[in-house]
Amino acid sequence: MTFNDRSTPLSLLATRRSAKARDLVAPAPGADELADILAIATRTPDHGKLAPWRFIMVPAEARDALAAGIIDAYRAEKPSAGRLEIEAMDQFARQAPALVVVLASPKVESHIPLWEQELSVGAATMNLLHAVHASGYAGCWLTGWAAYSDRVRDLFGAAPERIAGFVFIGTPGKPLEERPRPDRDKVVATWAGTATDGI
């Protein structure tokens, strides 16, 4: 399958790939463009119309505060952290010219299973990445230690919310390399009407 013309919808889907956050440079989407990208992100399967996700934009002028918050949280959990660890936390917060933090914001009072709400969060984040790509930029969805820290989460929300990921956005500073993709025959099958142990 070959899609060379990025102007077609299938070509956009077939050519999207993640960049490395540390390699993303300016330009990035402006405020209006990012608002449009986030509007597209919300057009995702959402059983019960719960919107079990939130998007927090972190502007450039807030990166110092983000870095300080992540470092404080890291030191609280790992008081013996060395200089290189702290520098890594600082660098994490400052990657790429644009950043959106995606929060899973489950509606626990709903009868919709939490698993379905979590699936919607992943779908919304993928929609965000597709919209970034369709707009001519590149994105990188990262988790890592910060995504699982309650103290970092508290910078943006509160339990039962969780950080689904940090989506870094910008322009690739170097050509993106295609990554290996799964062999279709290993991940796609036709059900024959009887139970199977897998593909």
Q: How far apart are CA 172 and CA 96, in angstroms?
A: 9
**pTM (2 decimals)?**
0.92
pLDDT at 7: 65
The pLDDT tens digits along the chain (199 residues) read: 454 555 678 888 989 999 999 999 999 999 999 999 999 999 999 999 999 999 999 999 999 999 999 999 999 999 999 999 999 999 999 999 999 999 999 999 999 999 999 999 999 999 999 999 999 999 999 999 999 999 999 999 999 999 999 999 999 999 998 889 999 999 999 998 988 776 6
Domains identified in the chain and CATH numbers: 17-58+96-174 (3.40.109.10)
- Give yes or no for a contact between 109 and 31, defined as CB atoms under 8 angstroms apart: no
Q: How far apart are CA 37 and CA 136, in angstroms?
A: 11
Q: Which of 112, 139, 114 is nearest to 125 (CA)?
A: 139
pLDDT at 1: 46
Q: What does the block give as tokens for 103? A: 């929060």
Q: How far apart are CA 116 and CA 55, in angstroms?
A: 18
Q: How far apart are CA 57 and CA 34, in angstroms?
A: 9
Q: What does the block give as tokens for 199? A: 């593909």
At 161, give phi and psi (nearest 5°).
Answer: -65, 155
